[in-house]
Amino acid sequence: MDEYIRQLTHNNQQFGREWPSTFDKLHKLSIDIPEIDQPTFKVKSLEALIDYVLADTEEIAQIKTTFLEITIKKFINDPLPSLDELVRIFCRVLEFPNTNHLFNLIFLQKFYSLFRLGEHLSSLPSVDLIDSILICLKKHEFLDQNFDNQMQEKWSHFLSQTIFSSLICDKNKLNDEQTMNKMRSSFQQLYR
């Protein structure tokens, strides 16, 4: 599947025309993978998906958003890749310098939400892995002058309503009380 994703077009019009056959091919490639090979298959396919997202320079098209969601959903069943791999993949997009590209942010939102990344990390809590995400977030220049207001709002919403949600009932956040207590200094550095 990774080779197939890497060869997909970035042209929005062509991508839209080819979507029905792309959808069928993605489905066929994701079935019949032996369970023992699934984590490796998923990581390779997610890496290819990231390469696709980071290389895309077109204006965001709804069909590509659908493609991201459908493709990620193919990998959220057990056996999951390791948390180390999931965080590495998430951070790879966070570390990419073009944070003003909506497609990158949409990938991060879908990946974080569909994999329930915050919930998995907070349930342990995985201090080193959470810390690596916080370090990536600290490196960002979210107030960059090149950011348009709409992108600033979208990033703000993702950070404040998803990753660092204030809802007590939200289990998919990194700032639950137990995690914050264990990582107080890391969170304080980020908030400064």
For 49-79, the pLDDT digits (tens) are 999 999 998 888 999 999 999 999 999 988 8
Largest CA distance in the chain: 51
Which of 144, 146, 127, 143 lies closest to 186, judged by CA? 127
Q: Which residues contact 78 (CB under 8 A, 6 or more apart)?
A: none
The whole-model pTM stands at 0.91
What distance in Å separates the CA atoms of residue 31 and residue 48, rounded to the nearest whole number?
18
Q: What is the pLDDT of residue 71?
A: 96
H helices within the chain, ranges in order? 2-6, 12-30, 38-55, 62-73, 83-94, 102-114, 117-123, 127-139, 149-157, 177-182, 184-191
Q: What are phi and psi of 30, to 5 degrees?
A: -90, -10
Q: Count other C-beta atoms under 10 Å from residue 28's C-beta.
A: 11
pLDDT 10s digit of each residue in the chain, 192 long? 999 999 999 999 999 999 999 999 999 998 877 777 888 999 999 999 999 999 998 888 999 999 999 999 999 988 899 999 999 999 999 988 766 688 999 999 999 999 999 999 988 778 899 999 998 888 876 655 666 788 888 888 999 999 999 888 899 998 888 887 877 777 777 766
Buried (b) or exposed (e) across 115-128, using 16+ Cβ within 10 A?
bbbbebbbeebbee
